[in-house]
Amino acid sequence: MSLPIAVLAALVPFVAAHGNIVGAGPSDNVQAAPSLYGGNFDGTPFTRMFYPDEGGRPWLGIGDLGDAWSMGCEAQMGPSSFMKVAAGSSFAIQWEGASAELDYESSYKSADAKYPFVHCQGTVAVDMAAADANANPAELEWTRIVYDGLDPNSYVSDELRGACSKSGAETYRGNNKWGIAKMVEQGSTVYFDIPGDLAAGKYIVRNELASLHAGAYKPQLYVGCVGVEVTGSGTSSLGQGTNAGALYSGNGALASLEINAGSFSFNGDGPSVSGLVSGGSKSTGSSNNSNNNNNNSSGSDSSSGNSDNGKAAEPTSTPAAALAASPTPSAEGSSEGGDSSATCRRRRRRGIASRDVASHKRSTFPHAH
């Protein structure tokens, strides 16, 4: 028996790419990324993000958190070229959503995007790693320079609240605002400063949106990478970072969070924001929040949490030490490679995708996508 047209329509955004990077660069000179569908990423500073292909799903889930290959740059080798950016300058990463729920508010959309990013709840993180062209992201150490979690001191506008409710994501309570909501408000764009004293050289910028709209389905992570060549006279290195497969624990604060519960508390998760980031004005974020539809109480603020237990870390502490890395693929083990380990990873992702799609189909419609 065929599914009703309304049900099929509700599933379309679920099986399409929910969000992807459409541009990045110095804030006054953003470079457009190749098209996710059919674009050639070779020779560009961008990496291709997931999109439905051979049964895949366009995000990372709990089952991927310990997989450094997936978590690095969504199972892609690092970019083959690098865009120049001065240390201390503002950098912008523009995102696009796959569907039009928020499209009626044009200010939510970046200049090169067809639609605004469609989700409104979740955290924003930016990590950097020193790397040459075509580096293996699974073998790099990532230093966190931006983390924007849950801010109990920011007000969610009526316009944004109404827009997000159209995507089935009406989970705002009180004045709390997620980092992703702030990103949507500023044109679905992540803005941050390249550390001012960072030594000149080639780096990969890893931008991660951990969307929490799916409730019981847990976080959906969207990860895009951009190659940058930092210029200037800085002398500081990024220091010791964290392997991509150790950024979060499968039973940590992010993986365990259920924002649709009657109450919840979240102090952030992941490695601490680097001490290279002065003042933390663009890298502070997560705050404790416990609320429900009838009451609202807030706790302490923090800029980041510990990847093992979700407890808040000091905003000015150095990045967490790299934990034992998961087995990493060879350069031939990219998502398009043919080695056996890559094949196993693809099969595992397809199995998870089939399970997720089946569960999503059983949920009540309309549902968050």
Q: Is the distance from CB of 303 to CB of 283 less than 8 angstroms?
A: yes
Instruction: Tell me the residue range of the domain where 243 lies.
Output: 19-362
**Angle, CA 302 vertex, CA 253 and CA 256 arms, to 5°:** 10
Residue 258 domain-assigned (yes or no): yes
Contacts for 183-187: CB closer than 8 Å, 24+ residues apart: 183/95, 183/117, 183/124, 183/148, 183/209, 184/102, 184/108, 184/116, 184/117, 184/120, 184/160, 185/107, 185/108, 185/157, 185/160, 187/94, 187/107, 187/108, 187/109, 187/110, 187/111, 187/116
Most confident of 3-17, 51-65, 215-229, 298-312: 215-229
Do β-strands 287-291 and 150-151 pair in parallel, antiparallel, or remain unpaired? unpaired
Greatest C-alpha distance within the chain = 66
In tens, the pLDDT along 54-88 reads 456 677 888 899 999 999 999 999 999 999 999 99
Listed in sequence order, the DSSP H helices in the chain are 5-15, 68-73, 158-165, 179-185, 253-256, 340-362
Mapped onto helix, strand or coil, the DSSP state of residue 26 is strand
Residue by residue, DSSP assigns 75-89 as S-PPPSS-EEEETT-
Residue 233 domain-assigned (yes or no): yes
φ/ψ region of 270 (left if φ > 0, alpha if ψ in -120 to 50, else beta) reads left
Helix (DSSP H) and strand (DSSP E) numbers for the chain: 6, 16
Query: What residue type is assigned to position 67 of the chain?
Result: D
More confident residue, 358 or 316: 358
Residue 308 domain-assigned (yes or no): yes
In tens, the pLDDT along 25-53 reads 999 999 999 988 778 999 999 998 876 55
Q: Show Cβ contacts of residue 72 under 8 Å, excluding neighbours closer than 6 positions.
A: 136, 137, 138, 140, 142, 206, 223, 225, 244
Residue 184 domain-assigned (yes or no): yes
Task: Give the CATH number for residue 331.
Answer: 2.70.50.70
Q: Which of 320, 324, 323, 342 is nearest to 332 (CA)?
A: 342
Q: Please tell me the predicted confidence (pLDDT) of residue 365.
A: 27
Cα 148 from Cα 180, distance rounded (Å): 8
Residue 12 domain-assigned (yes or no): no
Does the predicted model carry a pTM greater than 0.85? Answer: no
Residue 367 domain-assigned (yes or no): no
In tens, the pLDDT along 79-136 reads 999 999 999 999 999 998 877 666 656 677 676 667 777 788 899 999 999 999 999 9
Residue 232 domain-assigned (yes or no): yes
Q: Please tell me the predicted confidence (pLDDT) of residue 212.
A: 85
Cα 114 from Cα 101, distance rounded (Å): 12
Cα 272 from Cα 280, distance rounded (Å): 11
Q: Which of 8, 213, 226 is nearest to 123 (CA)?
A: 213
Q: Of 30-34, 38-42, 228-232, 275-279, which gets the smallest average pLDDT? A: 275-279
Three-state SS across 47-77? CCCCCCCCCCCCCECHHHCCCHHHHHHCCCC
Residue 239 domain-assigned (yes or no): yes
Domain count across the chain: 1
